[in-house]
């Protein structure tokens, strides 16, 4: 079976900044994969290249056996990208948002309502996007990314800014998404989150992948106590902003 993601030699410069400087990654189907790194490590740029939203200067990325650049409409139907809450349509309610996303993908309203239920937002269906809490808005953005039942899901810092209870609720949702057979790729600043959710992680810094492996194996390999220590040892930096 082909891998969910196969990227080789990805490079992207912005002026003098080498945002992504030779990244290679392979993610298996059904895997829960985390990309970790300090601010400016190149996580978001890497994700955007993988998603086919940004063209790499060099290198190739294949998703589900197909090249992600140039953009391929057939592939877009099979992947889900969590957009930031700021990408919602203005002034629409939660239900109107997800129905709009659903119709863009040719998905019926019943499925859209079912996704709202899955992320626990049925009671907030009639609430306007700018009146949702941070956690509710994150869950709505994840529901919109999943409404067309994608095989591969990308999430960029899905739990940043959430309170501990909202983070745990989202973790349960992400585990459920993954246990249903979907491949999940996320970026995060939270080492506990990566340890809790990810089958494997890639630790990035300065545009490069420093190490890839299951969190527990990385901890054992480096002879430290936690993924936080792994991160500190590899990057020489605390992960917190």
Residues that bind ligand ATP (CB under 6 A): 14, 17, 19, 37, 39-45
Nearer of residues 17 and 76 to ligand ATP, judged by Cβ? 17
Minimum CB distance to ligand ATP, residue 50 (Å): 12
* Token pair in block for residue 75: 């592939």
The candidate with the shortest Cα–Cα distance to 133, out of 157, 161, 169, is 161
Q: How far is CA 76 from CA 2, 27, 72, 110, 150, in A?
A: 17, 18, 6, 21, 9
Pick between residue 39 and residue 176 the one whose CB is nearest to ligand ATP: 39
CA distance 123 to 214: 38
- Minimum distance, C-beta of residue 26 to ligand ATP, in the bound complex (Å): 20
CB-wise, 12 or 139, nearer to ligand ATP?
12
Strands 32-36 and 17-27: unpaired
DSSP states of 16-31: TEEEEEEEEEEE-TT-
Q: Least separation, in Å, of the C-beta of 207 and ligand ATP?
A: 7
Q: How far is the CB of 21 from ligand ATP (least distance, A)?
A: 10
Query: How far is the C-alpha of 180 from the C-alpha of 165, rounded, in Å?
Result: 23
Q: Cβ closer to ligand ATP: 44 or 122?
A: 44
């Amino acid at each position: 079976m082909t891998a969910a993601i196969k990227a080789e030699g990805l490079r992207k410069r912005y002026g003098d900044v080498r945002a992504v400087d030779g990244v290679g990654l392979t993610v298996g189907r059904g895997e829960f994969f985390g990309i970790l790194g300090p601010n400016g490590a190149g996580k978001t740029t890497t994700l955007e290249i993988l998603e086919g939203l940004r063209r790499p200067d060099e290198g190739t990325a294949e998703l589900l056996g197909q090249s992600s650049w140039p953009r391929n409409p057939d592939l877009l139907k099979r992947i889900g990208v969590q957009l930031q809450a700021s990408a919602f349509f203005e002034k629409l309610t939660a239900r109107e948002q997800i129905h709009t996303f659903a119709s863009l993908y040719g998905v019926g309203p019943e499925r859209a309502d079912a996704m709202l239920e899955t992320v626990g937002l049925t009671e907030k269906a009639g609430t306007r996007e700018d009146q949702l809490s941070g956690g509710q808005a994150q869950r709505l953005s994840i529901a919109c990314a999943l409404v067309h039942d994608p095989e591969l899901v990308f999430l960029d810092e899905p739990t940043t800014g959430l309170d501990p209870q909202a983070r745990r609720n989202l973790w349960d949702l992400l585990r459920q998404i993954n246990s249903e057979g979907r491949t999940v790729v996320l970026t995060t600043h939270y080492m506990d989150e990566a340890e809790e959710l990810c089958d494997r992680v890639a630790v990035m810094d300065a545009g490069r992948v420093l190490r890839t492996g299951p969190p527990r194996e990385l901890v054992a390999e480096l002879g430290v106590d936690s993924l936080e220590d792994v991160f500190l040892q590899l990057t020489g930096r605390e992960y917190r902003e």
